[in-house]
Amino acid sequence: MTKELNYTKGKWYTEEDSMEEVAILVIPEGEDFPDTIATVRLIGNFDGIEMEANAQLIASAPDLYEALKAIIDAEDEHFESLGYGRSQDARKALAKTEGK
């Protein structure tokens, strides 16, 4: 069983602030208005498409985390861990996210 990661729960999404910034926002559970979590800026050799993709990846992190956690928890509950391959890679990624 994995530990519970304490992050801002709610709907995460992106919104273009300007041609050089994309904001990552969240509407926290039980709230009506968004808060800005982070801003991705156009710097260096990045182009606008890459900047938006980076912001989308950050905004999708909570969904990816919850999906990965559910898979690992289900494996722990129903199967003995195989201890190799993708299952082990998934456990390492989740541990990194949880600061282990």
Planar angle of CA 68, 89, 61, nearest 5 degrees: 35
Distance CA(80)–CA(11), nearest Å, equals 33
Which of 96 and 54 is assigned the larger pLDDT?
Answer: 54
The share of the chain scoring above pLDDT 70, in percent, equals: 80
Nearest 5°: the CA angle 83, 85, 97 is: 80
Digit-coded pLDDT (tens) for 40-83? 988 776 677 888 888 888 998 898 888 888 887 777 776 655 55
Nearest to 15 by CA among 36, 45, 42: 36
Reported pTM:
0.72
Question: Nearest 5°: phi and psi at 22?
Answer: -125, 130
Confidence of residue 89 (pLDDT cuts 50, 70, 90): confident
Nearest alpha carbon to residue 12 among 67, 65, 54, 63: 63
* Of the candidate ranges 19-23, 28-32, 49-53, the one whose mean pLDDT is the lowest: 49-53
